[in-house]
Amino acid sequence: MNLFLTYTVLGFVIGASYAIAASGLVLTYATTRIFNVAHGATAMVMAFVYWELAYNQGLSNWLSVLLVVFVVAPLFGALLERWVIRRVADAGVGVTLVVTCAVLVGLIGAAEKIWPPGVHSVTMFFAGHGVHLGKVHVSGNDLLTIGLAVAVGAVLYGLLTFTRTGVAMRAAVDDKELLALHGGRPHRMAALAWALGSALAALAGILLVSARQSELNYISLTLLVVNAYAAAMAGRLTSLPRTFIGALVLGLLNAYASGYLWTSNAWTGFREAIPAIFLLLMLVLMPQAQLRVGRLSGIAGVRTPELRRIAIASAALVLAVVIGNAVLSAVNVNRMALGLCFAILALSLVPLTGFSGYVSLAQFTFFGVGALTVAKTHSSAPTAVFLGAVLAAVAGILVALPSLRLQGLYLALSTIAFAQIMDYMVFQNPSLGGFGGSLKTKRLDLFGYRFTSDKAYALLAAAVFCVVGALVIGLRKGRYGRILIALRDSPAACATLGLNPRLARVAVFAGSAAIAGLGGGLYAGLQNQVGSSNFQFFNSLPLLLIVVCAGVTSVSGALLGGMLLMALNSYPDMQPYLFLILAAAAVGLGKQPNGITGWLFELREHPVAGRLGLGSAGTARSIAASAAVKAPVKSSVAVGENAEAEA
């Protein structure tokens, strides 16, 4: 009985921490309809600020908490809403997810720069104090966490339900213009919501690190708050009472699993995956609310190239790799090959996100399935790489089938849950066929030729990218590509014409996963040794950010995205500058949904470029004038929802 009571108290404490974090997510979403992926990173940074004030600058713990929760965090949230979120407030789910992913990556990079790895530990509040429930000791820190969770829930519920400010905050979501006509200030309400959300994230982060009494870690603390996604989904991102109940249930499940499940490796992975399993169940089993899907008014997608241009671009890429092999050092040749493998991974997002408009945060998981297959087969035959692509396609089907009823944000969150489950229960678990530590791999042997040198492997990766890129362009130009565009624009209209949207979604998820698995198989051969740490689901967040900012609607954008991802991993000194470029590109998605490559294509069509012979501006103007006479309607596209792609 005492053991059961111990785990029950532990579950309530964990659940209370999740409830505080999840309430901030619910607040920002319920009042602005933007899901803040960077909520966990905000909690992490504010926990570091608390450590800086209390343990590095010598302020008292309580004064430091007050400064962080009531000054620093609200100010950060208000400024974030003013300069970043407000610019994409009316955009679609894809844009807002990418922008908040940019904030997440930027916060982690800033924390690593300001507080280099070292000893950053904190102590419990009310250490040495507490009460006894029978033979079970409940610490003062645990009582504080539970009490604050109850107080936060009561205050937020009262604010949103019974006050004029709360009503105005919720009204700003439904009709900003109408609220303004009645004397309200929609922008001020949104800033207040993000200020409160950041304050709650800060409070949750401080309580989590004080309860754990462990060294602050950039990624692990961020992921702890990510577990609050599951609690927020229990309330469908709108109901605070259901969110708190879901958080307590999740905390109790975690506590009972750690105490009563078997201690084998398989069950260890299961315990760590409980929040992800809970999130997936909430998404699949609960009735889904209709999500608002904003749209951006902008240019049409970049033009689809003809066969001649595809051949020229492919030859140019192979020639560039040949020149790179001749002039670059051995280390940089290996990095070039790595960038091409990442470019194949980025290419998997073009049909899925660029053509179909679906947001997936599990691409690194499919990438890992391909690498794991090559490592487990211990084979250098190309059949091992193709088998990895097939198994990755099966994993893509497993993602698509349970989430056929999901759209937009809910679909993206279901891919996060799947990636976490694969990470904890498969990749990190050798008893279930995963990596365990690390596995050695062999270089590919094709028609008797072993690609032992990095130079040869770079040429192989470039050739594979060109072939797959041509297939993706062919897909867009064909009937199935037009079906994907039509289903993205209006699934209901397509259903009335007899098209099967479910079959199309499963097919595009399978194809996208197969491309990622193919890239993972090549990556495994290049690295000669791979492990579970190479394929953590968290890596899919910067991947989505980089590829969308580079240009997820084009094969050229995938190539640029792969190289940017390689640079982000290989050149730590360049990270601040890359973060700055990506942040600017993410905020600029509202004006240019085709990303950086879209701007480059626009420059090519500029009149100056036409006069210099660098583009086809005169032709573009003629086409534009003709189109304006025939149909003077401005096209409407959303990020990841453009009509065409260019190599």
Residue-wise pLDDT for 132-155, tens only, equals: 777 787 888 889 999 999 999 899
Q: Output 153-159 pairs: Cβ under 8 A, ≥24 positions apart.
A: 153/19, 153/23, 153/240, 153/241, 153/244, 156/23, 156/27, 156/196, 156/240, 157/240, 157/241
pLDDT of amino acid 301: 58
Q: Which of 222-231, 289-298, 321-330, 371-380 has the highest mean pLDDT?
A: 321-330
Residues 96-113 pLDDT 10s: 888 888 888 888 888 888
Burial of 567 (0-12, 13-18, 19+ CB in 10 A): middle
CA distance 197 to 74: 8
Question: Within 13 Å, how many C-alpha atoms sit on residue 243's CB side?
Answer: 30
CB atoms within 10 A of CB 615: 19
- Does the structure show a pLDDT above 70 at 175? no
Confidence of residue 615 (pLDDT cuts 50, 70, 90): low
Between 41 and 481, name the one with better pLDDT.
41
Q: In a 3-state reduction of DSSP, which class is residue 592?
A: coil
Which one, of 149, 165, 198, lies nearest residue 45 by Cα? 198
Confidence of residue 595 (pLDDT cuts 50, 70, 90): confident
- Does the structure show a pLDDT above 50 at 622? no
- Does the structure show a pLDDT above 80 at 535? yes
Between 296 and 483, name the one with better pLDDT.
483
- Does the structure show a pLDDT above 70 at 3? yes
Confidence of residue 176 (pLDDT cuts 50, 70, 90): low
> Mean pLDDT, to the nearest integer, of 383-398?
94
Mean pLDDT of the chain: 81
**Residues 602, 605, 609, CA angle at the centre, nearest 5°?**
115
pLDDT of amino acid 173: 61
pLDDT of amino acid 98: 85
**Percent of the chain, pLDDT > 90?**
31
The CA distances from residue 535 to 254, 375, 588, in Å, are 24, 13, 29
pLDDT of amino acid 371: 94
pLDDT of amino acid 333: 94
pLDDT of amino acid 42: 93
Instruction: Look up residue 299 and give its DSSP letter.
Output: P
Spell out the domain ranges in the chain.
Answer: 2-117+135-260, 302-536
Instruction: Look up residue 273 and give its DSSP letter.
Output: T
CA distance 558 to 546: 9
- Does the structure show a pLDDT above 80 at 119? no
Confidence of residue 397 (pLDDT cuts 50, 70, 90): very high
The contacts of residue 263 (CB under 8 Å, 6+ apart) are: none
Burial of 240 (0-12, 13-18, 19+ CB in 10 A): buried
> Mean pLDDT, to the nearest integer, of 246-275?
78
| Start-to-end CA span in the chain (Å) | 66
Confidence of residue 632 (pLDDT cuts 50, 70, 90): very low
CA distance 455 to 476: 32
- Does the structure show a pLDDT above 80 at 5? yes
Record the tokens describing residue 280, joined without a space: 């997936």
